[in-house]
Structure 1
C-alpha cells in the first residue's frame, strides 16, 4: 500500500519529461493527492460503519488500484492529476481504516509493526523505480509493478472480506445490530477531538518539517557536504522503521502516556541540538534522536484513541485525526520553508524546536483533559 508513495520522487524527472511540465508541477500532483487523502480520512468512519470493514477495505483497495492504473496509462498531464485524486482518496481511506481497525483490535506491539511495515513499503518504492530506470525502461513500468502488487492486495481483501470484524468498538450495545452511526457533528462537539487533532497535526507536521528541511539546513545553511547531509537525512527517515520495530518489542510493557511523554521530551532535546548548532555531529545526533523518538508516537496516539475518546466515537475519530495529520504534513513544512526564506536558513532550526515544543504542550493538555473528565465522571457515579 505504501510502495507507490516512495516511487514518485524517483520517477518525477522522467515524468516531467514525458508530460512536458515544469519541475514545480510536482506540487500540483502532491496537493491533489493530499486533498483526496484528507477527504477520505474524514469520511472513513462514516463509510466504514455503513459498509462494514471487509467491504470498506475491498472497495478502497480497488480505488487505489484505479489510481495506479491511471499513473501507468495516463496520456496527458491533467488526466494524471485527476487520477492522482483517486489514488490519494484510496490511500487515505485504507490508511484510516487500518489504523482504526488496529486501534480497536490490537496492541501497541502490532500497531508499531504496522507502521514499520508502512515504512518498509516507502523504502521499497524508490528501490523498485530506480531498478526500472537504471535499465533504461519507462517510469510507467515501475507503476505497472505497483499495479501488480496492488492487484494482489485487492484479491486478498476480496477473499477475506467476510472474515473482517467491524472496526468500531461496541460498548454496552452501542452501534451493534446496525444502529445509526455516529454523526460528525456529535464528534466535533467534543473538545477532546480538537485537541487530539492538534496533536496529530503537529506530530506529522514536525516529522515532515524535519525530513524536508534538514538537508537544506545542513548543506546550504551550514556548509555540510551534500553527500553527508543526504546521508543523515536518509538515516533520519530510516530511524522511523527501525524505531517502530524496536518499540514494538516492549511497548506493551510500559504505560503508554509515560512512553509518549518521554519520547516527546527526547524530540525537544533533539530539536534543541539542531537549533543550537554547537557542532555538526551534535546536530546529526539530534536529527536521529528526533526520528527515533517520533517513530512510535503516531501509532501509539492512534492506539490511545478508544481510551481517550468514547469507544463509540473512536472509529470516526481516527479518520479525523489521520486527516489532521495529513494537513500538518502539508502545512508545517510549508510554513518552515517560508520562515527560512524570510529570516534565513538558521531560522529553520528554531522553527523545528517550536513545533516540537507545541507538540509536547498539546499532548500534556490532552492528558490533563482526559484525566479531568474521568474524575468528573467518577464523581458523578459516586
Structure 2
C-alpha cells in the first residue's frame, strides 16, 4: 500500500517533511555552538571551521546531483542522501574527537545537499512548480524557526549530542519513505504534480523512465561541463549567490543593526529579528498563490518581490523607531521569501530537460558561496564603517539582483 494512502500525495508530503528537517538542521547550529565550544575547549574562530566543511560538502553535492540522478534515479539518490545524513548525525551523537567532528561536517553537508538538490529538481519538473517549490522552501523556514527553540529546550536537561541523535532518528522514516513513495526515475511533468489536483497513473513508484531529448554534443561531454557553459545557468547561480548572501547578512547582522543604530533592547531586537524569519516563511506560503490569482508569471512575481525587498530595506534603513523597524524587517523577509524557490522553478526554461537536475544542483551549491562570503563582507564593512551600512548594502544587493534577473528573463525559453 502506498505511503500515506495516496501515491501522488506521498512524494509531496515527504519532500515538505524533509525540508522541515533541513531547516531544523540549520536552526539548531547556532544554539549548539556555545556547548560545542565549551565541551571541546576551542574558540569561536576554530569552531568556525565546521561551517566551511559543511559548505564544502553541500557544494560537492550540488555539482554531483545530475550524475547521481542519472546513475541511481530519484529513489536511490534520495536514499543515499538521507542515509549519509543519518550515519553522520549518529556519529556526532557519539561525541567524536574534534578533528573527526569537523571532518564529518563534510558528510552532513553532502547528505543535506543531495536531499535539497534532488527534491528541488523533482518538483521543478511539475506543472505547478513555482507554487510547490515556494511551499517546499517555506517548510524549510518552519524548521529553521523551530530548530533554535527545540535545541534550547533540549539543552536544559540533555547534552548537545542528544540533539543530533533526535535529528538522526527523525530522518530514518524519511529514508524509508523515499524508498517507498518515489519513482526510480522522475517522469518529467508528472510525478510532482500538486497533490490537490486529481490525476491518473503513472504512479510515483512506477519504474517509468523520463522522456529526455537526445543529448547534444556538449552534454555528452559531461553534464557539469555543459551546465557551466550555459550563460543562463551561470547568471542564475550568481543571482542565487547574491540572494542567499543578502538573506543571511540581514539575518545575522540585523540584531546588531537594531541594537546599535536604533537603540533597541536585546529582547526587542530579538523579537524583530524573529519577525524577519517569520516574514520569510509566510512569504513563501502566501505570495505565489496570490500571484497566480493575479495572473503574474514567475518572472513578473520575482520583479515585484525584488521591488518589495528594495523598498523594505529603504524603510528599515530610515525607520525612526521600533514599530517601523519591525514592519520593515518583516516585509523585507516577506518579499525575500519566494525569490530562491522561484529561481529554482524557472530552471526548465533556462536549459534542456536532461541538464535540469545538474543545473539546480550547481545553483544550490554556488548559493552557499554567497551565503558565506557576503555576510563576512558585511561584517567587515560594519566593523570599519559602522553597522548602519547593513541596509544600504541590502539595497545595493537588491538592485544587483534586479539587474541579474532582467538578464536571466531575457534568456528564458518556455520548456
Fold shared per TM-score above 0.5: yes
* Correspondence for 1:115: 137
Does residue 355 of structure 2 align to residue 313 of structure 1? yes
Asked if 2 retains the 8 angstrom alpha-carbon contact of 1:192 and 1:366, the reply is: yes
CA distance in 2 between partners of 1:53 and 1:110 (Å): 17
**Distance (Å, rounded) in 2 between the aligned partners of 1:104 and 1:155:** 23
User: Residues 49-69 of structure 1: CA distance to partner in whole angstroms, max 9, x if unpaired?
Assistant: 121111111111111111111
Q: Could you say which residue in structure 1 is the equivalent of 2:300?
A: 258
2:53 equivalent among 19, 32, 45: 32
CA distance in structure 1 between the partners assigned to 2:47 and 2:330 by the alignment = 28
Shift of residue 182, structure 1, vs aligned partner = 5.0
Say yes or no: does 1:366 pair with 2:366.
Answer: no
Asked if structure 1 preserves the Cα contact closer than 8 Å seen for 2:187 and 2:211, the reply is no
* From 259, 266, 284, the counterpart of 1:226: 266
Whether the 8 Å contact between 2:262 and 2:321 is mirrored in structure 1 is no
Q: Output the CA distance in 2 between the equivalents of 1:34 and 1:200.
A: 15
Change (3 A) 1:213 1:167: farther
1:239 and 1:288 in contact (8 A); partners too: yes
Q: Map 1:1-382 onto structure 2 (within 5 A).
A: 1-2=21-22, 3-107=24-128, 108-134=130-156, 136-160=157-181, 163-166=183-186, 173-174=213-214, 182-253=222-293, 254-370=296-412
Partners of 1:245 and 1:92 lie apart in 2 by 23
Is the Cα contact below 8 Å between 1:50 and 1:181 reproduced in 2? no
RMSD (Å), alpha carbons? 2.1
Given the two structures, how large is their TM-score scaled by the length of structure 1? Answer: 0.90
Does the 8 Å contact 2:141/2:281 carry over to 1?
yes
Distance 2:98 2:83 in 1: 22
Partner Cα distance (1:74, 1:45) in 2: 34
How big is the shift at 1:281? 3.2
Deviation at 1:30, TM superposition (A): 1.2
1:11–1:139: 8 Å Cα contact kept in structure 2?
yes
Q: Deviations over 1:13-55 (max 9, x none)?
A: 1222211111333311111111111111121112111211111
Tell me: CA distance 1:75–1:187, structure 2 relative to 1, closer, same or farther (3 Å): closer
CA distance in 2, matches of 1:196, 1:171: 25
Range 305-314 or range 280-289, more displaced = 280-289
The whole-number CA distance in structure 2 between the counterparts of 1:124 and 1:349 is: 27
Question: How many Å apart are 1:132 and its aligned residue?
Answer: 1.4
Gapped runs of 5+ residues in structure 1?
A: 375-382
Q: Which runs of 5+ in 2 are unaligned?
A: 1-20, 190-209
The number of residue pairs the alignment matches comes to 367
Maintained 8 Å contact 1:171/1:312: no
CA distance in 2, matches of 1:53, 1:10: 33
C-alpha deviations, 1:245-304, integer Å up to 9, x for none?
A: 212433443311111110100001111122334444333322211100011111111111
CA deviations 1:329-357 (Å, max 9, x no partner) are 11111111111112112122211111111
2:11 corresponding residue in structure 1: none
Check 1:347–1:226 CA distance in 2 against 1; reply closer, same or farther (3 A cut): same
CA distance in 2, matches of 1:360, 1:184: 27
Cα pair 1:193 1:309 within 8 Å, conserved: yes
Q: Which moved more, 1:23-32 or 1:43-52?
A: 23-32
8 Å Cα contact 1:272-1:353 kept in structure 2: yes
Q: Distance in 2 between matches of 1:164 and 1:79?
A: 34
Contact 1:168 1:314 in 2 (8 A): no
SS in structure 1 opposite 2:346?
Answer: helix
- Tell me the TM-score normalized by structure 2: 0.83
Q: Which deviations, in whole Å up to 9, do the C-alpha atoms of 1:91-149 show, x marking residues without a partner?
A: 11111111011101251222211111111222222232222112x21111121111110
| More helix per residue | 1
